[in-house]
Structure 1
Amino acid sequence: MTRRKANGEGSIYQRKDGRWEGQLYVMTTAGYRKRKSVFGKSFAEAHEKLTKLKTQDFRGIPLPDKDWRIDEYLDYWLENAVEIFNRPLTARRHRSVVRLYLKPGLGNHRLSQLSVRTVQDYFTGLHRAGKPAASLHQIRKVLSAALTYAVRQELVFRNVARLVLLPSYAAAEAEHWTADDARRFLDVARTDPLYPMFVLLLLYGLRSGEVRGLRWCDVDTEADVLRIRQQVQRIDGQMRSVELKTRTSRRDEPLLPAAKVALDQQLEKQTRDRQAAGEAWCGTGTSADLVFTTRSGRPVEARNLFRSFRRICLDDDLRPIKLHGLRHTNATTQKSLNVHDRDIQAILGHGDVKTTGIYEHVDMASKRNALEKVEQRIFWRTLDGNRCRQNADILPSNQKTPARGWSFLADFIRGHNLGGSSQTRTGDTRLFSSPFGNNVNRFTAVTALARVRSYTWLIGCVAVDAAVNSP
């Protein structure tokens, strides 16, 4: 007598076409149970697939309620994730990548059957077709974001896009100006209507959307604070005030005198424009109005700001850079003034200090200053206020100044009678380690003074002994 199968155990039978089919009710990602079929050329093959399906269901891993095609799933991802959780410009870039690359190349594949090899072959084909490495990384970034959402929805169990190999590339270093270049630009741009915007861009390192999104209510003259709260962007053909790029972009900056002067000039200009426009003025006349507007009170277009910037550079023979390069110029200028990286990060509104490092560029003057400090530390030393050679043989002969007098005698006594860094008197390394840990720099001056006093006392002892024992 055959055993009666328990509920949920599943069944396997042979079809009319000769194949074996196994069926089992499993839980789906939609939250209900659904009958799932597996097929095999033999009973053993069907039984193996059915066993894997039962094991997955027993572990609480739901089965996708739909066998998605890649193009269908990408539309679902754009509508239910990207449009809701991303900023408008980010969503527009994702839609563009999906439409131009992902749907034509991978749209016909099944999401559940997407493999590393399939995705790797697709990107290899793009690379052989001449697609730049930076574009390949951007396409993979979008695909990886879509598959990550699929993992969270339990539609797939790994993100194959992260396992794809792509050609490496190094982003080109952004062009920036020196402080002298920035000063020259402000001198020649003083008569331009957008001059106050250029002042704030260089002084605070603001983004283009941030300076164009400033409101008069964000300018607190009593507390001397400039508040960055929103930005202006063109989205779907309209100028809109939107949220800032990151959470840390919301920041308060000190209202410096140069900024006050520029904002006063802008207020006078805007007042004249409002009077000239009359009823055609688009502003509300309240503190919620934008600081920088056109002659009719509308927000300033990003491309118009860049056109004025580029025109000034070309007319006055300045090295042309991107408008965003002014932000790099601000960060590099702060670095040259030895401003701490954490302060630069807060001023620029970066979420990570590593991002700030991208904006801080190194020039020949910075390298020279650093290497001169290394040269002084290695090849020179200071003793009792007098500079003497650490290794005169390395320097040119016309610069060789041998140590003489008391400094030379002190070096002799320290190196041969008292033991020194050469460890000629002792090999116990504990005698050369500082008991103060990281606070050793605080005792540098005291230690140097004590050493000089010790040398003076020893020299005095030698002199007295020589005088007493002399015939």
Structure 2
Amino acid sequence: MPCLIDKGPTSRSVVWVVWSATARPGAAGVRLCGGCFVRRAARVPAAGRDRRPRRTSGRRAGCGPCGGAERRHLDEWIEMKRRQGARPLTLRGYRQLIKDHVKPALGRKQLDKLAPTDVRRLVEAKAESGLSAATVKQIHGLIRNALADAEREELMHRNVAKLVKPPALRREEAKVLTIEEAKRLLAVIKDDRLEAFWICALTLGLRRGELLGLRWEDIDFANGLLAAGKRWQNLGLVFPSTIGTPIEPGNLSTRWRATRKRAGLDWLRLHDLRHACASFLLASGASPRTVMKTLGHSQIGLTMNTYTHVLPDIERAAVDAVAKKLFG
């Protein structure tokens, strides 16, 4: 049953009825009440409203739907992102963050009652719980983006998440696959059904999604060229499942964990093969710009900053080579 709310003492004979969040501001008779959408109902004589919930100070009175405005906005925001073309894997990550971290803390909040303190406490609690700074930053970024859309649609006056500083990311020295470890991995994956997949990840530096979406028509065998990065197709995949459909990313991750365990490389993520490819190229004398093009980076700075751990060895080798030519 919709909750009937008295507009206030200045208009005693007007009742506002709370409707579903599927209504939109700007529709006839629609206004916002604490983050919920409400519609103006017919005038009711004062005698007929004696037993109905009243509000005399501009606050909600008995409005059950208002208690979950943030929760409903997040659900609608995810659906909006899907319609806008967000990738299934991206949407899955959003839903997981919302389910595990955002809704339990903020799901009962009204949008217009959400304060910077609420977001700050959530960010601090997640940081103290042992989550990585990167994950906490993702949570903060998701809330900021969702509230930015709410602000744009005039569901709230300001984006309170913008007033909260995300955690600083400490740059940790990445563990890099060595040539000896790579050889051990290659020995383990020999004759594996996905042997070619793992080899392409290691030697071409392709991302998981690029490999899973790779089609035979993307490969130019005559010129030794490959065009990755296109959308998934159900037919013509180079690395399909056993029944010819696209491999589910979760299944691939499970297969990779078993493969790296056999190689004694439990720390090695699948994405680390991409980093290993770049490191091997740089160590072999390839220019940073060549590595940038191989990895598909948009800027040379991204390549240089990501693989700074390899550069000192390259610089040392270059100096030694010049000294050898000058002094024999």
Structure 2: which 5+ runs fail to align? 1-7, 13-23, 34-65
The one-letter amino acid paired with 1:367 is: P
Distance 2:226 2:119 in 1: 48
Give the equivalent residue in structure 1 for 2:276: 329
1:289–1:357 CA distance, 2 compared to 1 (3 A): same
Does structure 1 conserve the Cα–Cα contact (< 8 Å) formed by 2:216 and 2:236?
A: yes
Q: CA deviation at 1:147?
A: 0.8
Correspondence for 1:370 among 304, 315, 327: 315
The alpha-carbon deviation at position 346 of structure 1 amounts to: 2.3
Amino acid across the alignment from 2:281 = Q
Q: How does 1:71-90 map to 2 (within 5 A)?
A: 71-82=71-82, 84-90=84-90
CA 215–372 in structure 1, closer or farther in 2 if over 3 Å, else same = closer
* Separation in structure 2 between the aligned mates of residue 194 and residue 36 of structure 1, nearest angstrom: 55
* 8 Å contact from structure 2 (residues 68, 108) kept in 1: no
Moved beyond 6 Å, runs of 4+:
33-37, 372-377
RMSD over aligned Cα atoms: 4.1
Query: Superposed, which structure 2 residues align to 1:372-391 within 5 Å?
Result: none
Q: How many residues align?
A: 274
Map 1:119-198; keep pairs closer than 5 Å.
119-128=119-128, 132-170=132-170, 172-183=172-183, 185-186=185-186, 189-198=189-198
List per-residue Cα deviations over 1:116-166 (Å, max 9, x = no partner).
123223433444555554443222111111011112223334321122135
> d(CA) in 1 for partners of 2:199 and 2:26?
56
Deviations 1:255-291 (A, max 9, x none): xxxxxxxxxxxxxxxxxxxxxxxxxxxx9xxxx4222
Q: Is the 8 Å Cα contact of residues 69 and 109 (structure 1) preserved in structure 2? A: yes
CA 1:323/1:71 → structure 2, altered by over 3 Å: closer, same or farther? closer
Match of 1:221 in 2: 221
1:76-120 deviations in Å (ceiling 9; x for gaps): 212223553421111122122222322221223221232212322
CA contact (8 A) 2:292 2:303 kept: yes
Q: Which sections of structure 1, spanning at least 5 residues, go unmatched? A: 1-12, 18-27, 38-65, 232-240, 243-282, 388-471
Match of residue 252, structure 2, among 302, 313, 324: 302
Is the contact made by 1:94 and 1:142 (CA closer than 8 Å) also made in structure 2?
Answer: yes
Give the structure 1 partner of residue 287 of structure 2: 340
What is the distance in 1 between the residues matched to 2:72 and 2:189?
Answer: 52
1:356 deviates by 3.0
Q: How far 1:200 moved relative to its partner?
A: 1.7
Work out whether 1:313 is the aligned partner of 2:309: no
Post-superposition CA distance 1:317-347 (Å, at most 9, x none)? x686222211001111222234333332221
Task: Give the aligned residue type for 1:160.
Answer: V
The Cα of 1:309 is off from its aligned counterpart by 3.1
Structure showing greater radius of gyration is 1
Percent identity over the alignment is 28
> Would you say the 8 A contact 1:174–1:328 is kept in 2?
no
Mean alpha-carbon deviation: is it higher for 157-166 or for 297-306?
297-306
Letter of the 1:326 counterpart: L
Taking the aligned partners of 1:83 and 1:206, their CA distance within structure 2 comes to 27
Tell me if 1:99 matches 2:99: yes
Normalising by the residue count of structure 2, what TM-score does the alignment of the two structures yield? 0.66
